[in-house]
């Protein structure tokens, strides 16, 4: 019998489909080969002039901006979805609303080595990456036109990566995205009813039952959520309540780097280097110390297709139960 | 300058991306070849025993169910996402909620000819199809466990079609899907403020400005919506207010068949037989004659990828303005 499960935050139902049950070996995945010659890659050292001037970098002492000698580099996206210069200029068009596409769109080049994926990088470099995420949010907070900073990674062409050199992206928007509002509203409703953070309650239940636990350390847990949209979906949550990603302290950032690398390695081994997206779900930059919301990272391997049913309903049909995904991921290493 | 546009019903923002502007020729699409031998296709005449017994069919006089002689056939999905037998058995698991996956999952085989796509079928057969959608909803309304009937079509493997023989699907659910609730809530808010149906206002504005109009007839208009998620997205709306698809009269179903075939043909010519999804957005079957909601069909060509940003924000980045999509589709025939 298929099972309908409800995401407790968003109220989104998923169908855990027993008729179509799939195990890891059913997701036969041919990893994408790196095809681009590093000499032609705009993200490789020596080609710094192929990108807009850098915003931030981790560099060897004595090297100049926009030259080699870096191990991580932040640049504006050359084809930005939003532009940093200008006014919002909100206006109507009959019954419709629009505004100028003001915002920031940055690319974080995660390594100077073309052949490595994020899962392969040393933990210290993953720490540098999450620390850079934090630094960029802190910097963009100063721009009063902006309301939200979304940090995400697309890995693999199928998951939307247009360049194969390992990178993350940041898009800062002048409005709070709909999906964020929905999540905050859901968490707020729970808090009003119970006077507790729903994510803290999720962490307590998952830690107790352990059946969807993938990995854990002192600071964080990684679980397959109760109502996942996708097979092998993983959420990483800080054990202790914290609403804003940018308020994570140095020690916790180290623990986050460790568990993020660990989860990505597990996915890589379990599914043969699958394409994936990960997204940091955090509080809008205009808010701070929110009791009811708890930042977390959602990792989505791209193994199934979104089709008419999902578009029409907002439901997802998931052929792999999270208990099965978690057991497999837990034992893979 | 990119433009941020807001969907007036859902409050969903999209970024019309000028930096990444794409024209029809940029979506070079290699149409999927039909590969399966009709003798091995479970949806072809002669192979009726490869599917569960038919629920409904349009047949030549004197032919028996589950034998050749049909031109359209409705069957239960062999691998249903939801099952029709059983009780909902709602229950909790700590802070989580779940229930049995009760519902209907049917397949509508649109033609007995393996080689034809829906866009190629004679208008009369498209009429038979939309009339069958209506008949199936009317029948499923009798099941008091069900709250919503979602009718959709996935065309092409990339759009989620697992069999190439032309077919649509129907999934009836015991809960009203989140996406439907959001749409109805948005439409209701507008109605409370203005005492008018938002879709009727959209139709009035689009008819007046005409700049996003793709096609029209006496009963329906087809537009590229103001804030489309995807290039060449098309919405078909009945000109006169009607909330429930199943209340469409015979004459209007003929007009709907005509404009649906016309839109699919335009997409086929414009984009070289692209994969697509279409979804009928209608009122829950438990409601009737709703003033604030207006049924419509959304057609989504699958040309761009959903990636981390879309997952995290619920925003969409669309590289083609709807005015451009509409002008191109309007002039293609």
Q: List, as one string, the DSSP characters of B161-199.
A: -SS-S-EEEEEEESS--HHHHHHHHHHHHHHHHHSS-HH
Determine, for residues A95 and B201 on separate chains, whether the beta-carbon distance falls below 8 Å: yes
Give the minimum alpha-carbon distance from A323 to chain B in angstroms, rounded to a whole number. 13
pLDDT category of residue A265 using cuts at 50, 70 and 90: very high
CA distance B224 to B210: 10
**Contacts of A204 by beta carbon, 8 Å cutoff, 6+ apart:** none
Structure token pair of residue A255: 């623990």
Active site residues of A: 167
Cβ-based contacts of A95 with chain B (< 8 Å): 8, 198, 201-202, 205
What's residue A304's pLDDT?
84
Beta-strand relationship, A220-223 and A234-238: antiparallel
pLDDT in tens, A285-297: 999 999 999 999 9
Determine, for residues A315 and B173 on separate chains, whether the beta-carbon distance falls below 8 Å: yes
Q: Where are the beta strands (DSSP E) in chain A?
A: 3-6, 13-16, 56-59, 70-76, 91-93, 96-100, 104-109, 148-155, 167-173, 213-216, 220-223, 234-238, 276-281, 296-301, 316-318
What's residue A28's pLDDT?
66
- Which stretch of DSSP H or E encloses residue B148? strand B148-155
- Which stretch of DSSP H or E encloses residue B59? strand B56-59
What's residue A269's pLDDT?
93
CA distance A111 to A52: 17
Count Cβ atoms below 10 Å from residue B204 Cβ, excluding itself.
14
Does residue B294 contact residue B238 with C-beta atoms inside 8 Å?
Answer: yes
Determine, for residues A4 and B174 on separate chains, whether the beta-carbon distance falls below 8 Å: yes
Determine, for residues B308 and A153 on separate chains, whether the beta-carbon distance falls below 8 Å: yes
Residue linked to tokens 């505004």? A99
Beta-strand relationship, B104-109 and A167-173: unpaired
Q: Which residues pair with B297 in a beta bridge?
A: B236, B280
Give the minimum alpha-carbon distance from A63 to chain B in angstroms, rounded to a whole number. 32
Q: How does DSSP assign B27-46, residue by residue?
A: S---PPPP-S-GGG-TTSTT
What's residue B93's pLDDT?
94
Give the minimum alpha-carbon distance from A233 to chain B in angstroms, rounded to a whole number. 13
**CA-based torsion, A244, A245, A249, A251: positive or negative:** positive
Q: Estimate to the nearest angstrom the gap between the alpha carbon of A217 and the chain centroid.
A: 19
**Contacts of B72 by beta carbon, 8 Å cutoff, 6+ apart:** B57, B58, B108, B109, B110, B111, B125, B128, B129, B132
**CA-based torsion, A133, A12, A294, A173: positive or negative:** positive
Per-domain boundaries in chain A: 3-331
**Contacts of B267 by beta carbon, 8 Å cutoff, 6+ apart:** B119, B232, B234, B274, B276, B299, B301, B329
Is the pLDDT confidence value at A50 over 70?
yes
Least CA distance to B86: which residue of chain A?
A1
CA distance B214 to B206: 10
**Model-level pTM greater than 0.90?**
yes
Angle at B113 between CA A305 and CA B44, to 5 degrees: 70
Give the minimum alpha-carbon distance from A113 to chain B in angstroms, rounded to a whole number. 23
Q: List helix spans (H) across A61-177.
A: 123-140
pLDDT averaged over every residue in chain A: 94
Least CA distance to A178: which residue of chain B?
B314
Please indicate whether residue A23 or residue B117 has the higher confidence score (pLDDT): B117
What's residue B327's pLDDT?
95
Is the pLDDT confidence value at A223 over 90?
yes
Does residue A300 contact residue A230 with C-beta atoms inside 8 Å?
Answer: yes
CA distance B302 to B233: 9
Q: Which residues pair with A236 in a beta bridge?
A: A222, A297
Which among A5, A99, A175 has the least Cβ separation from residue B96?
Answer: A5
Which among A2, A169, A279 has the least Cβ separation from residue B83?
Answer: A2
Which among B101, B153, B209 has the least Cβ separation from residue A308?
Answer: B153
Give the minimum alpha-carbon distance from B96 to chain A in angstroms, rounded to a whole number. 6
Cβ-based contacts of B205 with chain A (< 8 Å): 94-96
Which among A4, A306, A313 has the least Cβ separation from residue B101?
Answer: A4
Residue linked to tokens 């050199």? A165
Give the DSSP letter of residue B84. Answer: S
Q: What's B3-331's CATH class?
A: alpha beta
Of A290, A4, A15, A268, the C-alpha closest to A120 is: A268
Residue B285, phi-psi category: left (phi > 0), alpha (psi -120 to 50), beta (remainder): alpha
What's residue A33's pLDDT?
83
Cβ pairs bridging A and B (under 8 Å): 233
Least CA distance to A100: which residue of chain B?
B3
Please indicate whether residue A56 or residue B84 has the higher confidence score (pLDDT): A56
Determine, for residues A150 and B314 on separate chains, whether the beta-carbon distance falls below 8 Å: no
Count Cβ atoms below 10 Å from residue B309 Cβ, excluding itself.
26
Residue linked to tokens 């990684």? A222
Residue linked to tokens 């609303």? A97
Does residue B170 contact residue B139 with C-beta atoms inside 8 Å?
Answer: no
Phi, psi dihedral angles at B5 (to 5 degrees):
-125, 145
Q: Looking at residues A128-146, what average pLDDT do you find?
A: 96
- What is the full per-residue pLDDT of chain B (333 aa) written as tens digits? 899 999 999 989 999 987 777 777 788 677 888 889 999 999 999 999 999 999 999 999 999 999 999 999 999 999 899 998 888 899 999 999 999 999 999 999 999 999 999 999 999 999 999 999 999 999 999 999 999 999 999 999 989 999 999 999 999 999 999 999 999 999 999 999 999 999 999 999 999 999 999 999 999 999 999 999 999 999 999 999 999 999 999 999 999 999 999 999 999 999 999 999 999 999 999 999 999 999 999 999 998 888 898 988 888 999 999 999 999 999 998
Count Cβ atoms below 10 Å from residue B200 Cβ, excluding itself.
18
Determine, for residues B15 and A93 on separate chains, whether the beta-carbon distance falls below 8 Å: no
Which among B99, B178, B313 has the least Cβ separation from residue A4?
Answer: B99
Of the residues B105, B165, B167, B254, only one is catalytic, namely B167
Residue linked to tokens 């009718």? B151
Q: List helix spans (H) across chain A.
A: 123-140, 178-194, 198-209, 250-271, 308-313, 322-331
Of B194, B199, B216, the C-alpha closest to B282 is: B199
**Contacts of A98 by beta carbon, 8 Å cutoff, 6+ apart:** A90, A91, A92, B3, B4, B5, B6
């Amino acid at each position: 019998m298929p099972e309908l499960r409800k995401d407790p935050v968003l109220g989104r139902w998923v169908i855990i489909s027993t008729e179509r049950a799939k195990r890891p070996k059913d997701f036969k995945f041919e990893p994408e080969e790196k095809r681009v010659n590093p000499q032609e890659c705009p993200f490789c050292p020596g080609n710094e002039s192929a990108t807009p001037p850098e915003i931030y970098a981790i560099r060897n002492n004595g090297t100049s901006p926009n030259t080699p000698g870096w191990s991580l580099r932040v640049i504006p996206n050359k084809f930005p979805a939003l532009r940093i210069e200008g006014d919002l200029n909100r206006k109507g068009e009959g019954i419709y609303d629009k505004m100028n596409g003001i915002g920031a769109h940055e690319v974080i080049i995660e390594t100077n080595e073309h052949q490595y994926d994020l899962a392969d990088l040393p933990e210290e470099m993953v720490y540098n990456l999450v620390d850079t995420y934090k630094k960029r949010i802190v910097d963009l907070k100063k721009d009063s036109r902006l309301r939200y900073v979304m940090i995400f990674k697309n890995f693999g062409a199928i998951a939307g990566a247009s360049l194969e050199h390992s990178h993350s992206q940041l898009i800062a928007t002048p409005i709070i995205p709909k999906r964020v509002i929905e999540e905050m509203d859901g968490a707020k409703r729970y808090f009003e009813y119970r006077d507790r953070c729903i994510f803290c309650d999720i962490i307590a239940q998952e830690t107790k039952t352990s059946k969807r636990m993938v990995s854990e350390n002192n600071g964080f847990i990684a679980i397959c959520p109760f109502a996942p949209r996708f097979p092998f979906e993983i959420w990483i949550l800080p054990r202790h309540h914290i609403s804003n990603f940018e308020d994570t302290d140095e020690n916790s950032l180290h623990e986050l780097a460790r568990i993020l690398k660990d989860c990505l390695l597990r996915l890589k081994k379990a599914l043969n280097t699958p394409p994936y997206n990960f997204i940091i779900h955090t509080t809008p930059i205009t808010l701070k110390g929110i009791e009811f919301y708890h930042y977390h990272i959602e990792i989505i391997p791209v193994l199934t297709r979104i089709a008419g049913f999902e578009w029409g309903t907002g439901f997802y049909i998931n052929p792999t139960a999270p208990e099965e995904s978690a057991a497999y991921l837990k034992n893979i290493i």
